[in-house]
């Protein structure tokens, strides 16, 4: 049975319009104009227990609005959300015990307190017995390697350490579902990898269902088995990562370094992406032509070096965004 059910969810915001300059500001006071922005339009999906789902889309696609409706922050205009049998608009407190949230751009920790004090405070918020909180903190301290900075005020921590503490704080009450809104934003590659390991561990050790938004394709590729793509407030793709790659990775890139210049033109299934004389880049549509055809076209005797690769997932996702606009 699905742990999350979202049905025909919609949310519209009223945005004030203002013309440029001082006159525009005066007009906006005398006769304000508004426009309706449909942030989320009639979206539906279901998520099973223990799934790690990427909920992705370009900026302004409606990701954060959807997450905020699912976590009781915003009221939907239409549609329904059912999370573990609870309605976020009516059962906010009950739901809060079942979910954890991390918003990469909004800190929930008190910056002047140490992570330890913060965890104790969060424990109290979720009505956890102090002795149980101590045990939990000890468990997390070991599991998520917090020893080095658990007694340092949050304001003195690096961004990576802070995000790690944000995630741990959101886990203190052992939520069944964790909503992560761009948890790796602004982090360096090493710290990103640490955070990903932590998320994987949470899913494995505690069977936590994870609902993740991120602009970082590596987050999605390394963590998620299912992808929901949203654009202009609508779900444009809801598929497994495997299927996404299978259906959309039907193109190969061939990079070749040549001994001598050759002249090539586009053929059916083979597109010349780059031709710099000795360096060529071809795109092969493997539903129409084979990679071997492309190599034959280049003349194998004249090739010094060759590299055959998949189209990056980032490009695939960008194309999905563009095609569905």
Partner 1 sequence: MAAKNQIKVVLMSYKYSFMREMLNKTSFISGIVFMMLNNACMVGQWIVLFTLKADFGGYGFREIILLWGFAAGTYGVAHAFFAQAFHLSDLIVNGKLDAYLVQPKNILISVITSAIIPHALGDIIFAYVACFIYSFNIKVFLLFTLLIITGGLILTSLAAILNSLSFWLKNSDIIADTGVSAVIFFATYPDGIFHGLTKWILFTIIPVGIANYIPVRSIINCDYSLILFNILACILFIAFAFIIFYRGLKRYASGNLMSARV
Q: Which residues bind partner 1 (CB under 8 A)?
A: 13, 64, 68, 71-75, 92-94, 96-97, 99, 101, 103, 105-113, 117, 120-121, 124-127, 155
Angle at the Cα of 46 from the Cα atoms of 41 and 47, rounded to 5 degrees: 130
DSSP state of 267: B
CA atoms within 13 A on the CB side of 303: 15
Residue whose token pair is 């050790």: 205
Alpha-carbon distance of 9 to 79, in angstroms, equals: 4
Instruction: Report the alpha-carbon distance of residue 160 to residue 192 in Å, rounded.
Output: 8
What is the smallest separation between the CB atom of 59 and partner 1, expressed in angstroms? 9
Output the smallest distance, CB 74 to partner 1, in A: 6
Residue closest to 217 by CA, chosen among 313, 121, 296? 313
In angstroms, what is the minimal distance from the CB of 239 to partner 1? Answer: 28
Is 193 within 8 Å of 218 (Cβ atoms)? no
Least Å distance between CB 29 and partner 1? 12
Give whichever of 212 and 256 is closer to partner 1, judged by the CB atom: 212
Q: How many residues are there in the chain?
A: 325
In angstroms, give the least distance from the CB of 118 to partner 1: 9
Which residue, 125 or 264, has its beta carbon nearer to partner 1? 125
Q: What is the rounded distance in angstroms from the CA atom of residue 119 to the CA atom of residue 122?
A: 5
d(CA 39, CA 67): 12
In angstroms, what is the minimal distance from the CB of 96 to partner 1? 4
What pairing do the DSSP bridges indicate for beta strands 52-56 and 209-213?
parallel
Residues 6+ apart with CB under 8 A from 324: 229, 231, 232, 234, 236, 237
Structure tokens given for 72? 């009781």
Question: Smallest distance from the beta carbon of 137 to partner 1, in angstroms?
Answer: 15
Q: Closer to partner 1 by CB, 92 or 247: give it.
A: 92
Contact criterion met (CB below 8 Å) for 177 and 4:
yes
Residue 117 or 193 having the CB closest to partner 1? 117
């Amino acid at each position: 049975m699905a742990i999350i059910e979202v049905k025909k969810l919609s949310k519209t915001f009223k945005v004030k319009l203002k013309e440029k300059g001082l006159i525009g500001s005066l007009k906006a006071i005398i006769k304000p104009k508004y426009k309706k922005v449909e942030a989320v339009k009639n979206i539906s999906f279901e998520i099973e227990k223990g799934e790690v789902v990427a909920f992705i889309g370009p900026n302004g696609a409606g990701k954060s609005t959807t997450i905020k409706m699912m976590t009781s922050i915003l009221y939907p205009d239409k549609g329904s959300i059912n999370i573990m049998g609870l309605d976020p608009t009516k059962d906010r407190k009950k739901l809060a015990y079942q979910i954890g949230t991390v918003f990469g751009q909004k800190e929930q920790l008190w910056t002047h307190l140490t992570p330890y004090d913060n965890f104790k405070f969060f424990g109290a918020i979720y009505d956890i017995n102090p002795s149980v909180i101590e045990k939990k903190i000890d468990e997390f301290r070991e599991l998520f390697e917090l020893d080095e900075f658990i007694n340092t005020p949050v304001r003195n921590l690096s961004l990576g350490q802070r995000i790690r503490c944000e995630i741990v704080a959101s886990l203190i009450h052992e939520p069944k579902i964790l909503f992560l809104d761009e948890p790796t934003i602004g982090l360096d590659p090493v710290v990103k990898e640490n955070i990903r390991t932590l998320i994987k561990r949470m899913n494995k050790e505690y069977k936590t269902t994870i609902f993740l938004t991120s602009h970082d394709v590596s987050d999605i590729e390394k963590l998620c088995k299912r992808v929901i793509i949203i654009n202009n407030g609508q779900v444009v793709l809801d598929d497994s990562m495997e299927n996404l790659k299978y259906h959309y990775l039907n193109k190969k890139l061939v990079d070749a370094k040549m001994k001598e210049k050759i002249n090539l033109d586009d053929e059916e299934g083979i597109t010349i992406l780059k031709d710099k004389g000795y360096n060529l880049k071809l795109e092969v549509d493997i539903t129409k032509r084979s990679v071997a055809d492309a190599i034959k076209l280049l003349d194998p005797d004249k090739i010094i070096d060759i590299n055959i690769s998949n189209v990056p997932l980032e490009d695939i996702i960008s194309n999905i965004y563009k095609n569905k606009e």
